[in-house]
Amino acid sequence: MQGRLAYLSILIVSVVLGVMMAVQFKSVREPLSFPSRQQEILAFELKQVKQERESLAEQNRQLREQLDRTLSGSSPSTDALLSELTMARAEAGLLGVKGSGVTVILNDSIRDVQPGDDPNQYLIHDKDLLTVVNELRAAGAEAISVNGQRLLATSEIRCAGNTILVNVTKIAPPFIVMAIGDPDMLESSLKIKGGVIEYLQIWGIQVEIKKSPPNKDIIVPGYSGPIPMKFGSPVKGE
């Protein structure tokens, strides 16, 4: 009886060792490729950034609620302070604003890719959106949003794989850029000869520019995310 148990124990140990060796051999024979490893690292980093952003957004919401409660009392000094604070928040991009301006709609090309051409030239990239935004800013745009994402001085427009991120939020075509400012000035800055719109249209990128009609404002939403400041602090007396 003891011999059978010893034999059975050896058999079980042998099977377990065999399975472990087989799994290890398979993992050695099929190592994770560098691109896959890099994608996993990027995905992990993006997840961390999203979690941090959500946490900061919640803190930001709570602080704003606390500020609103503090300023809810009515008095001449409080009203003046509240008016000044509201204007400062609007200028900083934290509040939605409305006014005359332009709406720019961008979409990928519908042309067939010609032999020898790079198919990426027929798609809108982060640098294209960034160029359009910079042209609008140079033309005096006071507030800009891309697919509902308000742009601040710290906002990023960058590529992440096959998608574009604005304020760590994924956006996809069609890209709708809304800008408040002088409609004629904003439109002419984009349509200037040799400018960004002319270049995009060479590849068949679909571009539509709409000026706001009279008595009808464009609404650019406020920035709702956190504005972290890890290394800077206010200067006293400024």
Domain assignments of the chain as residue spans, ordered by start: 34-91, 97-220
Assigned token pair, 14? 């042998």
Report the Cα 109 to chain-centroid distance in Å: 22
Could you please state the CATH topology (level 3) that the domain comprising 97-220 is classified under.
Alpha-Beta Plaits (3.30.70)
Question: What's the pLDDT band for 11 if we cut at 50, 70, 90?
Answer: very low
Hunting for tokens 């427009």 — which residue is that?
Answer: 157
What are phi and psi for residue 106, nearest 5 degrees?
Answer: -120, 135
With beta carbons less than 8 A apart as the criterion, state whether 181 and 153 touch.
Answer: no
Tell me the average pLDDT across 138-167. Answer: 91
Identify any residues that bridge with 177 across adjacent strands, giving them in sequence order. Answer: 104, 146
pLDDT of residue 4: 45
Between the two ends of the chain, the Cα-to-Cα distance in Å is 90
Q: Which amino acid is at 229?
A: M
Assigned token pair, 202? 């060479």
Q: What is the DSSP letter of 218?
A: E
Whether residue 71 has pLDDT greater than 50 = yes
pLDDT of residue 72: 65
Assigned token pair, 108? 């990928």
CA 90 – CA 113 distance, rounded (Å):
44
Assigned token pair, 147? 């697919």
Tell me the average pLDDT across 47-67. Answer: 74
pLDDT of residue 76: 67
Question: What number of residues does the chain have?
Answer: 238
pTM above 0.85, yes or no: no
Question: What's the pLDDT band for 103 if we cut at 50, 70, 90?
Answer: very high
pLDDT of residue 214: 86
Question: What's the pLDDT band for 235 if we cut at 50, 70, 90?
Answer: confident
Hunting for tokens 């042209």 — which residue is that?
Answer: 135
Assigned token pair, 218? 């464009």
CA 108 – CA 232 distance, rounded (Å):
40
Classify burial at 213, counting beta carbons within 10 Å of its beta carbon; exposed 0-12, middle 13-18, buried 19 or more: exposed
Residue 116: strand, helix, or coil: coil
